[in-house]
Amino acid sequence: MKLRVKFSKHGVLRFIGHLDVMRYFQKAIRRAGIDIAYSAGFSPHQVMSFAAPLGVGLESNGEYMDIEVNSLTSASEFVDTLNAQMADGIRILEVRLLLDNAGNAMASVAAARYTITFREGCRPCFLTGSVVDDFYSQESIMVTKKTKKSESTFDMKPYIYACSYDDKNDRLDLTVDASSAGNIKPALVVSALFDYSHQALDESGLMITREETYTNTGTAKEVRLEPLGSVGSDY
Amino acid sequence: MRNLALSDEILLSVEKPARYIGNEVNSVMKDKGGIAVRFAMCFPDVYEIGMSHLGIQILYDMFNRFGDTWCERVYSPWPDLDAVMRDKEIPLFALESQDPIKDFDFLGITIQYEMCYTNILQILDLSQIPLLAAERTWEHPIVIGGGPCSYNPEPIADFFDIFYIGEGETQYRPLLDLYKKCRADNASREDFLAEAAKLLGIYVPRFYEVRYHEDGTIQSFAPTRPDIPEKVTKEIVTDLSDTYYPEKPVVPFIKCTQDRVVLEIQRGCIRGCRFCQAGQLYRPVRERSVEMLKEYAVKMLDNTGYDEISLSSLSSSDYSGLEELVTFLIDKCREKKVNISLPSLRIDAFSLDVMEKVQDVRKSSLTFAPEAGSQRLRNVINKGLTEEVILKGATLAFEGGWNRVKLYFMLGLPTETEEDIQGIAELSNKIAVAFYETVPKEKRNGKVQIVASTSFFIPKPFTPFQWAPQCTKEQFLERAYMTRKAISQQLNQKSIKYNWHEADASVMEGILARGDRRLCQPILKAYQKGCIFDAWGEYYRHDIWMETFAECGIDPGFYTTRERSLDEIFPWDFIDCGVSKEFLKREWQRALDEQVTPNCQQQCSACGAARFNCGICVTDRSDP
């Protein structure tokens, strides 16, 4: 049976990278005594898959992993048992039962929503709701993506699903592509926004929280974003 | 949520910020209100190395069982963070509370290898604690050293208030009680230290004075006050089945060198190899009961979630309950999908059978440590392993499907000749021949892979070889080239790969290992010139060290290549590690006579450790 587990990651745990979070959960599941399925073969490993890697330094309210179990307890018992094994900073939020033919978490990811605030003293005064609206209403948003080997320029606009600024809370809301093919780092959008306003950005001043991870229940053309957890059912 | 000592900006700018945040599963948080003693436990190397050390896990658990004490951990900041902390004058902090170390009552530093000495100074410096013990006041923690290098603490004597000689489980409680009493009575720091020096196993360097002969050797080493003991006897746990051991070891977030449950099955070793310091220091060998180990194995796996467990000891094959323990573990681990790793096992039918059951055969290679290439030299070093046993073990392994063998040797052992070095190549070749004779062509999965590695022999205190001259760098390298050439002349040379160690660092380690108090100055100076992480090849600066010795008027050869006379007073002679100097002299003579000494299981050789009245010394030897 496949379960989809939603968790949050806050505080000092934001300095723990993706691979270490996976290793952390492998141990936590053993400690909790969850009846997880193991792969066959000489060195069996837990059947587990994570949705979208979260960058070091980011917090999240919407992380997902899928695991396969041999037997079920109640969903609330599962959440409580696993929460009893969590270090300060990671909380299990919900668990849902998946259909056997459901796509795995990683392959299902289409987008993620982020909120971005600024550290004390780092909030730029040029930033307002209307500036962000102007930025987002551009025909195209050309950015240069640098990798270790090459540099490429492309139009980011189709990969941004929503972009707005909440003047009251001084908060940028962003929904962008998070699929393995087209993943956009939220800081890249902020950097384009600053370029657009001819301002210099100090990325270390950003506080980024992933609020939710989505799958696309529509089509490639008619995108319908639903939280990854909505695919499963209560049990 | 805890506040961190480092800002997000700093943490995101350094490599592996998880090294500095604490909060690991099973790390201990306490309410400062009820705490009388804050103890910072330090391993002066990077987090991933320090977290792999069992001794700290044991003491961390012990201290935190004390209701009045909170023990926290601290490791060396990696050079990237080191630079930031110096620049911004951020005081070094403990992982749990993130409070500055300088506000603690004790800073305990485990000293596991000589090449960490400058890292000790880095820890003190970043903590904003005076580097010299003489300059500290009650404003500063008591800096206490322990671990194997404290058996010759003299090269770092000026930097420590106290050294604890021996196993930590026994004397810390009395020491903490004394500390609490002295603080309550408003005693001076000096008075506290003088009282501490009277406790068993406690050495306070400031109360001892060294005088030297004109030739630089020691004339006298004596306490400066009549109430301070002349000799310090090591502390030892007599019953290892009834003492502290962690049921819930701290589980790091990031991958560490030792990323598994570690079960220490025994302390000490019956073998008495003459080059091995641990084999002498930890006498007599003492076993933990199989019952205790079974219980702890299950608890530790359940409490950590690790998927691997490892047995730890100097020579696991000599543990009397090995078969029962391993059988139990195989059953338990299969059920829990846990791997078992069994280092330091003699290769024989039993161990091969066990490995077949617990390890992924395709991945593993076999390790032999003949240490020397010829039987003659193996007799000199008292390494019982014979060529016959090695070849038999290898043949058995080849029959079982293994085709990779690792061989460990030392170069520069006392009395070593060209023939002994030739023997390294010949033994490697014979193992290759054994493979081709044992495994028929159609069953071979490629060539046999033999990796022969040599390290350079460094004489250590409290070994029979403490009198031996160490090779010069040139002699070391000459011997490595000789080994390489000899291997290249073997028939199966294409199946043999040869590695040798860095010679410069071996010379340096030799200086520090048998050094005296006069080395405190160059160590301090080298640190001030920027030497840290000397144990890390990429940071080790041999040129700076040698230049510093010259500036301080110190001849490194005095400590390494010099021939020592039998009546010389050594800097470490004031420590009584249980093994007598008379025994070590006898062993040194037997080595030169190429005579093997029976192991403790076969016969008592009156080393002196029997006075501890425990372990093998009180065990019936008739039933091995």
* pLDDT tens-digit readout, B152-184: 999 999 999 999 999 999 999 999 999 999 999
Cis preceding-peptide flag for B148 (omega within 30 of 0)? no
Q: Considering the domain boundaries, does residue B244 fall inside one? A: no
The minimum CA-CA distance between A216 and chain B, rounded to whole Å, is 32
Which residue of chain A comes nearest to B261, CA vs CA?
A: A27
Local confidence band at B623 (pLDDT 50, 70, 90 cut-offs) = low
Residues of A in contact with B360 (CB under 8 A): 42-43
At B316, which amino acid appears? S
Residues of B in contact with A31 (CB under 8 A): 25, 302-305
**Interface contact flag, A24 B1, Cβ < 8 Å:** no
What does the pLDDT read at residue B295?
98
B457 token code pair: 């022999």
What does the pLDDT read at residue A145?
79
Q: Considering the domain boundaries, does residue B125 fall inside one? A: yes
DSSP-derived 3-state class of residue B237? coil
User: What are A's interface residues with B at a Cβ cutoff of 8 A?
Assistant: 10-13, 15-17, 20, 23-24, 26-31, 38, 42-44, 56-57, 85, 87-89, 119, 204
Q: Is the pLDDT of residue B468 over 60?
A: yes
List beta partners, residue A187: none
d(CA B542, CA A231): 62
> What's the predicted TM-score (pTM) here?
0.95
Please name the helix (run of DSSP H) or strand (run of DSSP E) that holds residue B340, with its range, or none: strand B339-341
Work out the percent of chain B whose per-residue pLDDT is above 90. 89
Q: What is the DSSP string of B199-250?
A: STTEE-GGGEEEEE-TTSSEEEEEESSTTS-S-EEPB--S-TTSS---SS--
What sections of B315-409 are H helices per DSSP? 322-336, 349-358, 375-380, 387-399
Q: Considering the domain boundaries, does residue B612 fall inside one? A: no
d(CA B566, CA B606): 19
Neighbours of B65 (CB within 10 A): 12
Residues of A in contact with B8 (CB under 8 A): 57, 119, 204
What mean pLDDT do residues A88-112 have?
93
Which residue of chain B comes nearest to A39, CA vs CA?
A: B337
| R_g over Cα of chain B | 25
Residues of B in contact with A47 (CB under 8 A): none
B567-589 CB burial, b ≥16 within 10 A, e <16: eebbbbbbbbbbbeeebbebbbe
At B335, which amino acid appears? E
What does the pLDDT read at residue B170?
97
Local confidence band at B193 (pLDDT 50, 70, 90 cut-offs) = very high
Domain CATH for B135: 3.40.50.280
Average pLDDT of chain A? 93
Nearest neighbour of B23 by CB, restricted to A26, A43, A87 = A87
Q: Is the pLDDT of residue A41 over 80?
A: no
Residues of B in contact with A119 (CB under 8 A): 8
d(CA B72, CA A100): 47
Handedness of CA A198, A201, A207, A210 (dihedral sign): positive
The minimum CA-CA distance between A134 and chain B, rounded to whole Å, is 31
d(CA B174, CA B400): 54
Q: Is the pLDDT of residue A71 over 60?
A: yes
B143 token code pair: 């800096």
What does the pLDDT read at residue A122?
85
d(CA B568, CA B566): 6
The minimum CA-CA distance between A84 and chain B, rounded to whole Å, is 11
What mean pLDDT do residues B320-338 have?
91
Q: What would the pLDDT profile of B200-239 be if each residue is shown by its tens digit?
A: 999 999 999 999 999 999 999 999 999 999 999 999 999 9
**Interface contact flag, B251 A27, Cβ < 8 Å:** yes
Q: What would the pLDDT profile of B57-93 be if each residue is shown by its tens digit?
A: 999 999 999 999 999 999 999 999 999 999 999 999 9
**Interface contact flag, A56 B253, Cβ < 8 Å:** no
**Interface contact flag, B339 A56, Cβ < 8 Å:** no
What does the pLDDT read at residue A103?
86
List beta partners, residue B233: B576
For tokens 């220091």, the residue is B281
Nearest neighbour of B253 by CB, restricted to A20, A31, A44 = A20
**Interface contact flag, B18 A28, Cβ < 8 Å:** no
The minimum CA-CA distance between A177 and chain B, rounded to whole Å, is 24
What does the pLDDT read at residue B361?
47
Residues of A in contact with B306 (CB under 8 A): 27, 30
Q: What would the pLDDT profile of B333-343 be if each residue is shown by its tens digit?
A: 888 889 888 87
List beta partners, residue B69: B37
Q: What would the pLDDT profile of B494-526 be if each residue is shown by its tens digit?
A: 999 999 998 999 999 999 999 999 999 999 999
User: What are B's interface residues with A at a Cβ cutoff of 8 A?
Assistant: 1-2, 4, 8-9, 11-13, 17-18, 21-25, 251, 253-255, 301-307, 336-337, 339, 360, 362
Domain that holds residue B73: 8-233
d(CA B10, CA B555): 42
What mean pLDDT do residues B276-304 have?
97
Contact B244, B61 (CB under 8 A): yes
**Interface contact flag, B8 A11, Cβ < 8 Å:** no
What mean pLDDT do residues A124-135 have?
93
**Interface contact flag, A88 B2, Cβ < 8 Å:** yes
Q: Is the pLDDT of residue B192 over 70?
A: yes
B386 token code pair: 């014979």
What does the pLDDT read at residue B1?
59
Please tell me the class of the A2-107 domain. alpha beta
Local confidence band at A102 (pLDDT 50, 70, 90 cut-offs) = confident
Residue A143's φ and ψ, nearest 5 degrees, are -135, 160
What mean pLDDT do residues A30-40 have?
94
Contact B593, B587 (CB under 8 A): no
Nearest neighbour of A38 by CB, restricted to B12, B305, B337 = B337
Contact B267, B255 (CB under 8 A): no
Q: Considering the domain boundaries, does residue B103 fall inside one? A: yes
Q: Is the pLDDT of residue B362 over 90?
A: no
Looking at the 3D structure of chain B, how many domains does it have?
1
